[in-house]
Copies of this chain bind each other. A is one copy, B any other.
Amino acid sequence: MGTAWIENLKEMIGSERVSTSEGELFRHSKDESFHPPVQPETVVFPESTQMVKDIVDFVRERNLPITPYGAGSGLDGQAIPVSRGVSMNFDRMKKVISFTPEDLSVTVQPGITRLELNREINRQGLYFPIDPGADASIGGMAATNASGTTAVRYGSMRDQVLNLEVVLADGRIIRTGSAAKKSSSGYHLNGLFTGSEGTLGIITEITLKLHGIPEHTIAARCTFDTPKHCAAAAQAVLTSGIPVLRIELVDAPSIKQVNAYGDYHFPEQHSLFFEFAGTQTSAEEEASFVEELMADMGCGNWERASGSIERAEIWKARHELAYAFRHMKGKEVVGSDVCVPLSKLADMVDFARGQIEASGLLGSVFGHVGDGNFHTIIVYDPKIPEEKQASETINEQLILKAIEAGGTCTGEHGVGLGKIKYQEMEHGEALEVMKSFKELLDPGKLLNPGKIFI
């Protein structure tokens, strides 16, 4: 099939909403992952649910693949249009559709990013706390079931989604939930479409739970001799029942990298970063309790920051970590995102660090250890095939070990392209059930083809 259809598409939705410029094709060929870029044939910029539906009807009639694109911050290729066709960009669907502070909820279009959303709602004393680091779009976050540093307190995207409007492959527009805080009515489509990575339908509206901005926040950090000690300490905090806002592991090589990249001066040792939030009394009480607990476990360098600049610096450094590695000149990276039961975490982290050391490569171990979720980033020289091979082997060993431990190959980045091959091992017979849902809702395999399973 040629590209004459692009002209028809322009006629249908207006040429100002369709682009085939080199710049746009390039931008929509990739995300923040290590997967090779693939350019779409065209990029569309819908401005309403109806327009999304019209485009879906259009591509279905012509058997063209379509891949939704949010902020391009995904980490496993979900937004890469591997079968080409149409990339659907949500930059022009960023509206807050309704905001009722007294319901602690907001309804938005998918293109709005989490920082844009917070700018709209913070003045009412509310915030949307899910924080994957990048300024991802809410639609993309829902599609991947993203989470991040605050999941230990608030859960993942799926825990925030009250309702979705979704355009199905056959052009039907459905609502998956309601505005009620809880429901036992019908099958839970909210949870099914959240995290389906655009393969079951295209999300056009999201109703989210919001939370009160805590009155007082305290950041703290401390160091341990090994990453394994850090993980064991994190587990102790969690089982104590303290509702920490964040608890992050950052290993020594990562701290070193962050110091160099951002001109910080953190002690270059394996570290835990904390955030406590609540009333001043409760935050202080929690911080003191954890300080004692960490001392009992042999930590060093406990340091507390309640000033907001100092606090911001700590978390800015933590968020820059991945970028510091991903953007090293002439280097490429392989990243992992395993999540295991808390009791298996210390051993897993130890195993990861050991494998990286043994390979002689530069690599980082860090992550959301309060959830049993951590990442590795291994840096290799793409001109040296052995380095690439070694990084991929470590990545694979980690995943296999995580699944064996009862965990998952992806805690928050999604399956995308990189974890397709582990789906059968992780889900067994259930994978066939998932595939049958896909077949039922998208028999033509038009919606984000090539993702989650083939």
Contacts and interface: CB of A to CB of B under 8 A. Distances in A.
Interface of A: 100-105, 144-147, 151, 155-156, 158-159, 168, 172-176, 178-192, 194-196, 200, 211-212, 214, 235, 238-241, 243, 278-279, 281-282, 285, 337, 339-343, 371-373, 402-403, 405-415, 419, 423, 426-434, 436-437, 440-441, 452
Contact of A372 (B180, B186, B411): B180
A349 to B, nearest CB: 15
Q: Which 4 A/B pairs are nearest by Cβ-Cβ distance? A: A191-B191, A212-B241, A179-B406, A183-B408
25 contacts: A102-B343, A104-B239, A147-B184, A158-B191, A168-B433, A172-B429, A174-B430, A178-B406, A179-B406, A180-B339, A180-B402, A181-B339, A181-B372, A182-B339, A184-B412, A185-B423, A186-B426, A186-B452, A187-B452, A188-B188, A188-B191, A188-B192, A188-B194, A436-B440, A437-B437
Contact of A285 (B239, B279, B429): B279
User: Can you tell how many copies of this chain the complex includes?
Assistant: 2
B174 A429 contact: yes
Given A175-B427, A178-B426, A184-B413, 12 more contacts: A102-B239, A145-B184, A146-B184, A175-B429, A180-B373, A184-B411, A186-B415, A214-B241, A243-B243, A279-B285, A436-B440, A440-B440
Nearest to A427: B186
Contacts of A413: 184
Contacts of A200: 187
A412 B183 CA distance: 6
A403 B185 CA distance: 11
B406 A185 contact: no
Nearest to A158: B188
Among A181, A407, A440, which residue has the most Cβ atoms of chain B within 10 A? A181
Nearest to A151: B182
Contact of A437 (B405, B415, B440): B440
B184 A156 contact: yes
A434 B182 contact: no
Contacts of A102: 235, 239, 342-343
A151 B183 CA distance: 11
B239 A212 contact: yes
Given A191-B192, A437-B437, A409 B185 contact: yes
